[in-house]
Structure 1
Amino acid sequence: MTTTLLQPGEIEAAAGDIPELRLPPADLFLTRAHRLDQLAEGHTLGDYLRFVARLARAQQAALDAGPAGEPPAADRLAQCREYQMPPLAPAGLGLPAGWRDTARHLAQAVKSGLPAPGQAVLESIPDSEDAWLDAQATRLIEGNTQDLDAAIAPVIGAALQVHWTHLARQLHPGHVARPEHPNLCPVCGSHPVSSVVRIGGAANGLRYLYCVLCSSEWHVVRAKCSNCDNTRGIAYYHLEGKERIVQAESCPACQTYLKVVQQEKDPLADPVADDLATLTLDLLMDEAGFARSGINWYLIHGLT
């Protein structure tokens, strides 16, 4: 089914009151794990959602342990802000020290309970050479699926998320300018996973894009394509018989879509977990001729 939103920005707050950037909270991976376990009940992808929940818990433990890495110096942050550059862009930082150790630890932490083939796949991560792991991480960050091992990519991505989330948590919103390209994260320049309409506080009713890498969120007005800024003919698709917690926002101009997760429909809804649990909606949007503009590293179908 599809509905059309007729009044762009109808519930947006006054411009001066909008929190433009939301940096990641300390417990985000644990919260995600709880949501994944909840979504797994009775779901056709239940086993995989539970696996990702274990991975998210391992990410939380790694984040709590304080991974290596410091944000750029004050003068570099000021320069990035002046020129509207994302301060944590991978091209400028390079791969963080210790990220491979994190990937190997995550692989060991989640392989138990998997079928033998799955365990064998994850065992390849501790056994792999550093250069190969670095190459896999670079391809994932760049969205280059050529020679990317999709089976281990969720763990590679999870390790990178731990380190970049750690870095983002050390920033202050004042360190970060509005992005030159609004469809990319102003903190690290990565693509969004999905968008989320938040509830509560100053962010109530506002839509934020959610970064696949550093877990930051940035405000983008509703009823506007997050990929090309078009505001005409935006339509919303949802799965029949669902509560419309997750909708696919489609754009006729660029023929792309990005999911919108509605927390007002379920306060526990998570922009990553609920995106992952609505794979059927992705398949329907593909059949309708729309390409996905966001990516979810927990399932590599989202790479574009």
Structure 2
Amino acid sequence: MDSWVEILAATCRVEVFECGMAPSGEPLTPGWPLVVDGAEVAGLLEALAIAQPGDGYCMCLGETTFRLMDADGRVLARAALHHGTSLRWDGWDSDAMLLDGALLVRWLDAHGISGPAAEADASRARRSADERDQRRWVDACPQGAVPLLDELLLISRTGSQPAGLADRLEQALCTEFPDRKQRCAALLRWYASGSGRRSGHPMHEKVPDDLLRTSSIDEIIEVAASSDDVDVLLGAARHLSGWKARTPKELATVPSALATRLIELSSSHGRTDVAVGLESLFRR
């Protein structure tokens, strides 16, 4: 059969395995499947309808495997559910988006397969957290950079920075903050916002860090040491803990009192990765 629609129309029995699908089409974990036949089949097949094939493959092997069979028990297709939103079947050149992923997740949950529902809940929680982080980052953006926000946020979606954007951003900040120390403080405050991860991710959050790396270590130290602004200090901690943000020689010039303050502040604000990173770097 050439189409998914034809396969669904011919399916009379579905075996559902609570695990992903190997490249061979077999379930990753041997075990007894949930067998769906008779009057139950129609509801599952409705939930397995797709909207359209996508344009790529998920990197994982899925979380639920379906074995679709005809009235004679012949296997028509094997498919895997990915993140409650798409299906993988070897008849497509890519994964395909479900017409109603939530419908399939609810059907599975109602039939004792709760993994996709739990993952969907976790995914929603992650999205909500990401949205909160982004709002904080946008709110912390210096006024001079606000006209560039759409382009800056796009960096995380495209994975690259448009040519000339960094120069335009730097010029906007130089206009808003002619004084280098004030500009440095604004960048530290901005870099403290968002996720606060030591890695600097998501990518758009690295933008202020990239500009901070053009400042001297002496300037970073002076601005942080003279500030009582928690965000300036958290930004300094995040910057100094970053991957190769500063050389060991530069880090050795950070006063021990400031280093201790940055570590303690990061820890008290739940930024354990930054605190641990700083402890490791300052011990060298």
Give the TM-score normalised by the residue count of structure 1.
0.25
Higher normalized contact order (CA 8 Å, seq sep 6+, divided by chain length): 1
Structure that is richer in helix per residue:
2
In terms of Rg, which structure is larger? Answer: 2
Q: TM-score, normalised by structure 2?
A: 0.26
